[in-house]
Amino acid sequence: MTSRRTFLKSSILSSSLLLPGVVKKGANLLSRQKQSEKTYKPLIVSTWNHGLEANEKAWEVLHQTGSILDAVEEGVKVTEADPASRTVGLYGFPDREGIVTLDASIMKGNGDCGSVCFVRQVKHPITLARRVMEKTPHVMLAGEGARQFAIAEGFPLEEEVLHPESEKDYKEWLKEAEYRPVINIENHDTIGMVGLDAYGNLAGSCTTSGLAFKMHGRVGDSPIIGAGLYVDNEAGAATATGMGETIIKICGSFLVVELMRNGRSPQEACEEAIARLIDKNRDNIENMQAGFIAINKDGEYGGYAVHPGFNYAVKHEGGNELEDAKSSFKE
């Protein structure tokens, strides 16, 4: 008898061949025209419900400072500081040792980028990532080195006390101490934000406390330039959410941007990247969520996920709204 798992696998594998985002061979991609009349400049798009509030802040900062980089940094700081967020910032779920470790990255459309990973006690890892970009000759600092850099830069270190809700869940988890990824944890995960200003400058940011109850030292896609985030003024910007390991394996955000460079719309690029992700993660894909959002230099946007349940917030002059992403698996 066909098991549910086998059925899901075979249906997803055959459907991945038919995904609408997979552009047919031979299409003249480089001469692609804009596919949508709906283009927006400026435009801010970010992952999940928490993106709505973050977008509002980013929009305000963009109009105050004129800097799309300031906008994407300040936007995600709202989520990093939100005690209600269990998946971003120091109030997030701890790892299996009971320690919260954070990952973040930031990137400009000219290729400048910075990131921090496996860092403790820093309330705003996104600002630390920007500091790595602007004040060091490096792209990425990890763990204790990142923390020492934070101290040297005058960042206050927070006490390592778990948020009461995170502590409660951690104690519950310890009873069995079995790691099972949860699809769409309470409708949020990483916050990734991509933004375009009125002059065609792009920037992006991405920040997370990573998987709940992960192995100590585990680093996900979010701080890895090209996996969790990629930005190029010549093409577009993309960011990722969900099971980091699946995203790292396909250099997901870089892939989305390269697909846009080669003529795909942001929506097509996200769909094709998810098809690739499914193809390279067949073993357990029915239990793994991952999603991408993208914008291109013309001001089009798109988003797509492996499973239903992923949503993203889109902010432009006309409003700030959540959109449900389409997905390869259906309800």
Residues involved in catalysis: 190
Could you say which of 80, 221, 268, 298 contacts ligand GLY (CB under 6 A)? 221
131-160 residues in contact with ligand GLY (CB under 6 A) are none
Q: Which residue is nearest to ligand GLY (CB)?
A: 220
Residues in contact with ligand GLY, shown as a per-residue x/- string from 167 to 206 under the rule CB under 6 A: ----------------------xx----------------
By CB under 6 A, is residue 74 in contact with ligand GLY?
no
Got the DSSP string for 173-229? Answer: HHHH------TTGGG---EEEEEE-TTS-EEEEEEE--STTPPTT---STTSBTTTE
Q: Are 204 and 211 in contact (CB under 8 A)?
A: no
Could you say which of 92, 236, 244, 263 contacts ligand GLY (CB under 6 A)? 244
The two three-digit tokens of residue 302, written as one number: 């798109």
By CB under 6 A, is residue 207 in contact with ligand GLY?
no
Could you say which of 46, 222, 311, 327 contacts ligand GLY (CB under 6 A)? 222
By CB under 6 A, is residue 46 in contact with ligand GLY?
no
Indicate the burial class of 181 (C-beta count within 10 angstroms; 0-12, 13-18, 19 or more): middle
DSSP 8-state code for residue 160: -
By CB under 6 A, is residue 210 in contact with ligand GLY?
yes
Torsion of CA 319, 321, 327, 330, to 10 degrees: -130
What gap in Å lies between CA 273 and CA 277, rounded to an integer? 6
What gap in Å lies between CA 289 and CA 309, rounded to an integer? 9
* Closest to ligand GLY by CB, 241 or 265: 241
Q: Which among 40-48, 170-178, 207-215, 323-331 is the span making contact with ligand GLY, rule CB under 6 A? A: 207-215
By CB under 6 A, is residue 242 in contact with ligand GLY?
yes
By CB under 6 A, is residue 208 in contact with ligand GLY?
yes
* Closest to ligand GLY by CB, 118 or 329: 118
* Closest to ligand GLY by CB, 252 or 263: 252
Q: Are 268 and 302 in contact (CB under 8 A)?
A: yes
By CB under 6 A, is residue 246 in contact with ligand GLY?
no
What gap in Å lies between CA 132 and CA 100, rounded to an integer? 21
DSSP 8-state code for residue 80: H
Q: Are 171 and 272 in contact (CB under 8 A)?
A: no
* Closest to ligand GLY by CB, 141 or 288: 288
Report the nearest approach of ligand GLY to the CB of residue 87 (Å). 8
Report the nearest approach of ligand GLY to the CB of residue 270 (Å). 15
| H/E stretch holding 53 | helix 51-65
Report the nearest approach of ligand GLY to the CB of residue 200 (Å). 28
Indicate the burial class of 82 (C-beta count within 10 angstroms; 0-12, 13-18, 19 or more): middle
The footprint of ligand GLY on this chain (CB under 6 A) covers a number of residues equal to 12
Name the residue with tokens 């013309």: 298
DSSP 8-state code for residue 72: H
By CB under 6 A, is residue 220 in contact with ligand GLY?
yes
Q: Are 140 and 107 in contact (CB under 8 A)?
A: no
* Closest to ligand GLY by CB, 80 or 221: 221
By CB under 6 A, is residue 303 in contact with ligand GLY?
no
Residues that bind ligand GLY (CB under 6 A): 189-190, 208, 210-211, 220-222, 241-244
